[in-house]
Amino acid sequence: MATNFSKELVVKPGEKVRLAKWDPEDTLGWEKGHKTKVDLEKSLAKLDKLQYLLYAEHKHALLIVLQGIDAAGKDGTIRHVMAGVNPQGCTVTPFKTPTPEEAAHDFLWRIHKAVPEHGDIGIFNRSHYEDVLVVRVHNLVPKDVWSRRYKQINEFEKTLSENNVKILKFFLHISQDEQRKRFEERIDEPQRRWKISQSDFDERKFWDEYMAAYEDALAKCSTEQAPWYIIPANKKWFRNLAVSHIITETLEDMHMKFPAPTVDVKQLKWK
Ligand code: AMP
Ligand code: MG
């Protein structure tokens, strides 16, 4: 089945976002099973080859931003989608509550430092978007401060993209019921209990506020050079399929080439 995942799931620049209209159960007609599994394996193999080319060409970096509510599957996406890529050439940076040093700088300071170098794929597990999400929901800074950040983020991302950093942003969209189910699994399964935190349960009460903050971030900051994708993520297999397809579609569109050899291989002499 030829699905253009990027086109189907992108937030068009300037488009208003109402998350209630994006179904977290959607699978774009795909079904769980052998065929889909084979397709994912093919897509991951393609990703491995494209990363090799990105690394060899050394001209562009790829920055992947992962956002989503607690239990949306950020860690799982990294584990499954990046499983096949060469660790040399890939960085993963989780962003937590800012340290005192980070908090003493502008909100983009720690982000800019973690941007991947040319040739690399960098994955952000949470990102500068927390500064218009958790910060907004909990009034950690006044409204006139966070409300200016959308523009600052767009300018920052534009600067990166003009300097050969390709940016992809994924919002992993789950329903409130699915989040509850996943929290219950974490409680029931001893090997998952370590993942539960009190804050997960406290944050659940702010679901509507988070959705409103996400809607604004997705609408205001989906641009030509740094698009947001809304990934229906209730079904983990579809989430992995969609994310891996969008990454490979993007890398293919970059028309990368292997650099010319620095030596004339015919002239090489054995000693
Ligand atoms: P986790 O990703 O589950 O390990 O949790 C990281 C926590 O850090 C989450 O509760 C985030 O909301 C929080 N966090 C990340 N960035 C920021 C930020 N800029 N300001 C405040 N809290 C943040
Ligand atoms: Mg968590």
User: Has residue 4 been placed in a domain?
Assistant: no
The distance of Cα 172 from the centroid of its chain, to the nearest Å, equals: 8
Write down the pLDDT at residue 1. Answer: 59
Q: Looking at the domain assignment, is residue 261 inside a domain?
A: no
Q: What is the pLDDT of residue 161?
A: 98
pLDDT at 84: 83
Residue nearest to atom 2 of ligand 1 (CA): 96
Candidate from 95, 135, 183 with most ligand 1 atoms within 8 A of CB, to mutate: 95
The answer to the question of residue 270 being in a domain is no
Residues present in the chain in total: 271
Mutate to test the pocket of ligand 1, among 65, 131, 134, 198 (most ligand atoms within 8 A of CB): 134
Within a domain: residue 239?
A: yes
> Position 106: which residue type?
D
Of 36, 34, 94, 13, whose CA–CA distance to 244 is shortest?
36
Share of the chain above pLDDT 70, in %: 100
94/265: higher pLDDT: 94
Which residues have C-beta within 8 Å of that of residue 251, sequence separation ≥ 6?
47, 50, 51, 53, 54, 62
Strand order in 121-125's β-sheet? 90-94, 121-125, 61-68, 165-173, 228-232
Does 266 reside within a domain?
no
The domain containing residue 117 runs over which residues?
Answer: 22-252
Position 166 scores a pLDDT of 98
pLDDT band at residue 2, thresholds of 50, 70 and 90? confident
Phi and psi for 18 in degrees, rounded to 5?
A: -120, 105
3-state DSSP assignment of residue 116: coil
- How far, in Å, are 11, 53, 89, 221 from residue 15 at the CA level? 7, 34, 34, 10
Count of the separate structural domains present in the chain: 1
CATH code of the domain in which 122 resides? 3.40.50.300
Report yes or no on 2 lying in a domain: no
Ligand 1 atom index nearest CA of 128: 19
